Amino acid sequence: MDLSDAPHEHAFRVQVRDWIAAHAPRPAERRDPARLRRWAQDLREAGFVGASWPKEYGGGSLTSEQQAILNEELARADAPPIPGGMGLLWVGPAIIRYGTPEQKARYVPAILRGEHTWCTGYSEPNAGSDLASLRTSAVRDGDVYVVNGQKIWTTVAHLSNYCFLLARTSDGPAKQAGLTVLLVDMTLPGIEVRPLRQITGDCEFNEVFFSDVRVPVDARLGDEGQGWTIVRSALVDERTGMAASIRVDKDLDGLIALARRNGKSADPVTRQKIAELAIGCHVLRWSSARMLSDLLHGRLNPGIASSNKYFTSNLLQALSEAVLDVMGMDALLYEQPDASPDFGSASPGYRFLYNRCLTIAGGTSEVQRNIMAQRVLGLPR
């Protein structure tokens, strides 16, 4: 298999690289909200937001290879991410796949224009890995569903206009069959959002309470009872996105530069560790190429999405631990984001703490191992 760029891909790569060099904010500008808004607008005008979505929904109609090249070049330049978050990564694709023409016209362009921020309401205090046990109910009353219950760990709910909510519309022996997705307007009466503080000190996620929230029936995505199918494909998009968007090569380069500068690169134990991590980064590169090949052939492959998510999150944690080892006491300068020039805008201490969440978010490592064992290797339960 030849994984190098074909001539037309190379030409696109050069074009994208030049465009990023001309438009991306410089490191010193990356905390300036006005500059980041201009960057987001430039990306939109270039067709790089929703780049591989169909033109009819306002996307850029790039091929998946071109989207991958764009992602790689953005990562290489350490450019701020494409704006759009969950709306872009899995809510928009789910609406394009399962929505009515009215829902596509209403929600998709607003995601691309950055007008709507979405959060995802799956997890509950007693339903995380075993998501099908969730209890938040949506009871039909004429032309609305009345929603009651609690969600937890809802990332950016405090900033969101809409929630991609998984709720129970019926009880029965097959728990999955009673689940339905609702596209909930977060300004509806009866919704309360309470932020939760994380180990980094940030408040990125929340508890969300629903008390007699009246959600119009036309905000239901797909059929009643189709929620499990929709969420399974959205989770593949989420895990694919998590694996693809993480910039391991950049972190490896930073680690090597740091070890060279402070003399640790002469230490055999450190060298061995860096070699192991470098092998991991290479394995991930080829495994990502396989994921891309599935995308190109229109295959929804939960096995590769799970294994890449599992592998990437572990690798990133190992990289951030190695960085702290190589930095030694300097790593305690947690409050100084520019403490190390090798790691972009977040300090290594912050990254170490933040990366703890990666083996939980989007489904824990144990759950990914179960998926690989059962669905890829065919092992008995």
Binding residues for ligand FAD (CB under 6 A)? 119-123, 128-129, 153-155, 205, 357, 360-361, 363-364, 366-367, 370
> Rounded to whole angstroms, how far apart are CA atoms 149 and 169?
12
Paired sense of beta strands 118-121 and 162-168, if any = parallel
> Rounded to whole angstroms, how far apart are CA atoms 285 and 273?
19
For residue 118, the SS3 value is: strand
**Residue 221 Cβ vs ligand FAD, minimum distance, rounded to whole Å:** 16
Q: Provide the token pair at 228.
A: 């499990």
| Among candidate residues 178, 217, 187, 188, the one with its CA nearest the CA of residue 100 | 217
Residue number, nearest CB to ligand FAD = 128
**Residue 165 Cβ vs ligand FAD, minimum distance, rounded to whole Å:** 9
Which residue, 68 or 119, is less far from ligand FAD as judged by CB? 119
Which residue, 19 or 209, is less far from ligand FAD as judged by CB? 209
Q: Provide the token pair at 277.
A: 């991590």
Q: Are 333 and 339 in contact (CB under 8 A)?
A: yes
Q: Are 108 and 84 in contact (CB under 8 A)?
A: no
Which residue is catalytic, options 238, 276, 335, 366? 238
**Residue 90 Cβ vs ligand FAD, minimum distance, rounded to whole Å:** 11
- What's the sign of the alpha-carbon dihedral 24, 72, 347, 116? positive
Which residue, 222 or 363, is less far from ligand FAD as judged by CB? 363
**Residue 242 Cβ vs ligand FAD, minimum distance, rounded to whole Å:** 10
> Rounded to whole angstroms, how far apart are CA atoms 179 and 156?
23
Task: Tell me whether residue 65 is one of the annotated catalytic residues.
Answer: no
Phi-psi region of 121 (alpha: psi -120 to 50; beta: other; left: phi over 0): beta
Which residue, 119 or 244, is less far from ligand FAD as judged by CB? 119
**Residue 153 Cβ vs ligand FAD, minimum distance, rounded to whole Å:** 3
Which residue, 107 or 205, is less far from ligand FAD as judged by CB? 205
Which residue, 36 or 196, is less far from ligand FAD as judged by CB? 196
DSSP 10-74: HHHHHHHHHHHHHHSPPGGGTT-HHHHHHHHHHHHHTT-TTTTS-GGGT-----HHHHHHHHHHH
> Rounded to whole angstroms, how far apart are CA atoms 83 and 349?
25
- Which residues carry out catalysis? 238
